[in-house]
Amino acid sequence: MKKKLLAFLLILVLAITAIVATACTKNTERDFKQVTASVSYAGRSSQVDKLELNATIYNFVYNNYYYYQQGAMTADDYQKMLDKIDVSYKQANESLAESEAYTLMCIDELYKLVMAKGTDEEKAAATAASTVGKAYDAAARIKEIVSVLPKKDLIAAIEAYNKEMQESFDSFLEAYESEIEKSVTKHSTDNVKELTVISKPWKLTYEKGESFIENGLKVGVVYEDSTDVVTLDRDEYTVTGFSSENVSEKVEITVSFGKKSATFDVAIVDAKVSRPALPKDDEEESAEKTEIPALFEVDLDKQIEDVKTSDSARYKALSEAKRRLEKQMSTNYRNYEYYYLSKLKSQAVTACEEIKGKESTGVTQAEILAEYQKRLNDQLQELELGAKEYSSAVDSPAVKTQIVHKDDKIFYVLHTLLGLSSDLKKEYDALKSEKTSHSDALWEVKKGLIDESSMYVSNPEYDKDAKCEDEDCTCISCENYTGENPGECTDENCTCEKCPNKRYLKTITYGDNKTLNAKEDGTFDILDLRAAMYEDLAAMSDASTAEERAENLKVFKKWIYMTNDDESFFTTLSDGKLGYSLSMDESDYVESFTELSRLLAYGTELEKESSDYYIVGSGVGSFGYCYTTYGIHVIMLSGYALDPNVETQALTDGMVAIPADAITDYTSYKAAENDEETATVTPAKGTIAYDIVEKLESNKKDEKIGAFKKDFYQNALKNDVEITYFEKVYQDLIEQYQN
């Protein structure tokens, strides 16, 4: 029984697809364009057609069929679903009609808004495009929505439409291009005497972890009874054997064509340090787009026209892909207009709801306080109940959004590690394994080795993850260079963004226009670097201004990108703006690291002076250095979670209540920008207060949108919307399912 049903279902699903896919005649088209529901609201009309309804039901049946196939639905239930398909049709038709009505209400709201607040020009355009009192017409509806949509929403709708069309188009283009490719005559794999590497790739030495670059590689074939070398196309042969996982003097790379192969070798060496590029200053927030993009089909026609005389292969490919895309649409009785309109309609709904949501008034100081108090009470209660996750969060130096905390002295530091050279570390490890020296003596040896260390200094402008965009790049070390094997680029003035020549600095400029030059091998002594860094950072005093402190942080960040050897730190720095979170209570970091950090944050002048950390200045922007087993750490205080002078509220068991303006999420921290004009409160990002405001605003917005929708279903739908259903129109589809 079960098997029989399955066969029946398969036929059914195929049959329904066939309705749309093959029966492409004028009669079927006319049949599918019949209206199954007509809708009107405030003088505007819309409709649901049989094609739309059929597509909805088809998806519904198909999903159920899928569940059934996966065993998530029994055969009986599946059969019941089919038996009741008439009910599903009725419900789907109603739901489509109601959704049309809701869209009409949104269009009406947007129209009213233009009339109330738009410029004369906008009002005139909206009036001219209004469809009030007119029969439904898709093209007119497009013009109408375009005339009332806020510009950013219109751009969003067009972008969504263009993306969808482009994706379909690309798949047709790709299919066509691979057909062409296959039809091109290739070199025969028969009667091959020898496969030969005509030219090796230019890059034959790789650092551990690098990926293979085959530029410069040319492979040829010599046939029996001939001495000529015939160059092969790249897609005719395969390249295998590359691995940069381990250091190796010789890794054999094999090129294969048919049954023949040839080899060449590459070497894998230790990886040099790779630091990320310094992020650009105050990354400009992507400016709001103001230009309305051309529609996909308009742009495509222009592209086709552009290559008509210059590139006949491209012209043919684009034209053919366009023809196939349009044919597929018309097979389904769809067109560009249909897809564009559906994107506009959904954007009209989004825009309208967005506007309704924004009508909620801002958050007041009193509301923030009330919410803060509520959260505080909730957290105290959870603590009392012994919620495990909560108590571990209380202990953690990362404050997250906790209000109750063990420690009210939480602060942030930035640091750079001038690391012990790897060869000197090996020397030390060998000495240590002999176990002849006392640990204090060993530490003195290590400090000596650290002082002897040298390192590469990264160019903060060089982005190791960037891609060279220049397709005709002339840098011989660039991936885009297409010439034969000339070796590595040594051009000092090379303009390629990815030129390996630019990876490390050869000269550092610091302080009052002083310079420091790299040694012969390209590295710098770390003691020289530390001295230069100290001179480059402005001397801080109690009197230093906020600007001076900020400047010091900026200069230090650049040094971090140039010199830091603590790899785990890069993520912290690139995500956050404050650096490591530390507390007076707990810390997982090395002792001298935390001791210096605590002195910077809360130490007295006397404590600082009598320490071995060479601390300069006080407060945010002050810095010092310490030795650890990894090397020399230069550390700078970058911020406090809360003002150190503010008294925190003491709770039971030595707990404190962290105030609302404390920075608890340092990765998203951004200072507040005071806007005197609006009465609403915008706290600094990353603080408890910011989190509260965000939450309250979003609640208010949801409430407003909810009320708008509720009004539609409870009032408008009953009183202002008119819907007429034409059930006979789709009766034949129901019968097809039921037979």
- Kindly tell me which of 475 and 616 has the beta carbon lying closer to Zn ion: 475
- Kindly tell me which of 83 and 469 has the beta carbon lying closer to Zn ion: 469
- Kindly tell me which of 469 and 643 has the beta carbon lying closer to Zn ion: 469
Site string for Zn ion, 359-378 (x = CB under 5 A): --------------------
Site string for Zn ion, 522-561 (x = CB under 5 A): ----------------------------------------
Taking the complex as a whole, the smallest distance from the CB of residue 504 to Zn ion amounts, in Å, to 14
Amino acid at position 31, single letter: D
User: What's the full length of the chain, in residues?
Assistant: 739
Taking the complex as a whole, the smallest distance from the CB of residue 503 to Zn ion amounts, in Å, to 11
d(CA 324, CA 262): 42
Number of residues interacting with Zn ion: please give it, by CB under 5 A.
Answer: 8
CA distances from 263 to 219, 223, 230 (A): 10, 18, 17
Taking the complex as a whole, the smallest distance from the CB of residue 460 to Zn ion amounts, in Å, to 19
Are the beta carbons of 73 and 67 closer than 8 angstroms?
Answer: yes
Alpha helices per DSSP H over 603-730 = 605-609, 688-711, 717-719
Site string for Zn ion, 410-449 (x = CB under 5 A): ----------------------------------------
Taking the complex as a whole, the smallest distance from the CB of residue 211 to Zn ion amounts, in Å, to 16
User: Roughly what angle, to the nearest 10 degrees, separates helices 85-117 and 336-358?
Assistant: 60
Taking the complex as a whole, the smallest distance from the CB of residue 277 to Zn ion amounts, in Å, to 16
- Kindly tell me which of 90 and 503 has the beta carbon lying closer to Zn ion: 503
Taken in order 139, 143, 145, 150, the sign of the CA dihedral is: positive
Are the beta carbons of 136 and 289 closer than 8 angstroms?
Answer: no
Q: Of 360-368, 457-465, 472-480, 517-525, which segment contacts Zn ion by CB under 5 A? A: 472-480
Is residue 351 near Zn ion by the rule CB under 5 A?
A: no
Taking the complex as a whole, the smallest distance from the CB of residue 468 to Zn ion amounts, in Å, to 3
- Kindly tell me which of 301 and 484 has the beta carbon lying closer to Zn ion: 484
Closest-CA residue to 521 (of 455, 439, 449)? 455
Binders of Zn ion among residues 473 to 502 (CB under 5 A) are 473, 475, 478, 489, 494, 496, 499
d(CA 393, CA 405): 8
CA distances from 139 to 39, 63, 109, 341, 342 (A): 17, 32, 20, 8, 12
Residue at token pair 């895309």: 325
Q: Of 9-17, 73-81, 471-479, 591-599, which segment contacts Zn ion by CB under 5 A? A: 471-479
Taken in order 346, 352, 353, 358, the sign of the CA dihedral is: positive
d(CA 326, CA 20): 15
CA distances from 680 to 372, 683, 737 (A): 17, 10, 59
Closest-CA residue to 60 (of 28, 96, 111)? 96
Taking the complex as a whole, the smallest distance from the CB of residue 462 to Zn ion amounts, in Å, to 12
Q: Of 166-174, 192-200, 403-411, 460-468, which segment contacts Zn ion by CB under 5 A? A: 460-468
Taking the complex as a whole, the smallest distance from the CB of residue 213 to Zn ion amounts, in Å, to 12
Taking the complex as a whole, the smallest distance from the CB of residue 527 to Zn ion amounts, in Å, to 32
d(CA 243, CA 268): 9
Closest-CA residue to 5 (of 56, 60, 73)? 73
Give contact residues for Zn ion (rule: CB under 5 A).
Answer: 468, 473, 475, 478, 489, 494, 496, 499
